[in-house]
Structure 1
Amino acid sequence: MQVFRRWSPVALVAVRGASMSPALAPGDVVVATRGRGRAGAVVLVTWDARPGQLSVKRAVRPVGRLWHVEGDFAGASTDSRELGPARVRGVVRWRLRPRPGRVRRT
């Protein structure tokens, strides 16, 4: 994950890896806003087990104040199934490139 612009009031983030295929592909640039999201939303997360790593995943269900999150392509995703609940840092709202558009909830 490469962050182009930090919060003010949004973050621009480049997606790396295929874990969110087909919703998001490697190289997609997305816009995220601060927020906790809800089930089905694509979110930016961090894990205590991997400090400093920012990931894009889909929120599945709340676990206390944290979230169980998973990648859309399970075969290429390291997510809550391995790392446990994640802290949601923001909600992915739009894809800027290469195909501009709203990122949909499932």
Structure 2
Amino acid sequence: MAPTLRHGDALLVRRGGRPIRPGDVVVAVFRSRPGLLVVKRAVRPADGGWWVRGDNDLVTDDSRAYGVADVHGRVVARYWPRPGRLPRPAGYRRV
């Protein structure tokens, strides 16, 4: 799958609000790498955190490499350079 975001995109992130659902793009920190802030897609809840994955499986480091992540917010929109809402992949359903 092609990446939803590119390096340099400016994002609007919401903390709080509705709960995180599978398929949401989130800002998270891996428990095993506390200094690394990442933007990934939430897959499923796991051990008090979330299992997160990148959209491009061939080149991304995600929960497969670093384990559970703590979510700090949900990305609601990209406002620069291509404004708009972030698409939800076809494989994800609302829970």
Calculate the TM-score normalised by the size of structure 1.
Answer: 0.75
Tell me how far 1:22 sits from its aligned partner: 2.6
Structure 1 unpaired stretches of 5+: 1-19
- 8 Å CA contact 1:41–1:104 kept in 2: the answer is no
Q: Distance in 2 between matches of 1:68 and 1:83?
A: 10
Q: Which runs of 4+ in 1 moved over 4 A?
A: none
Compare the two structures and name the one with the higher strand fraction. Answer: 1
**Cα distance in 2 between the residues matched to 1:37 and 1:80:** 17
Amino acid at match of 1:74: D
- The higher-RCO structure (CA 8 Å, 6+ apart) is 2
| Percent of aligned pairs with the same amino acid | 47
Matched, 1:99 2:78: no
Q: TM (normalized to structure 2)?
A: 0.83
Q: Cα RMSD over matched residues?
A: 1.6
Q: Which runs of 5+ in 2 are unaligned?
A: 90-95
**Alignment-derived partner of residue 78 in structure 1:** 61
Query: Matched residue pairs, number?
Result: 87
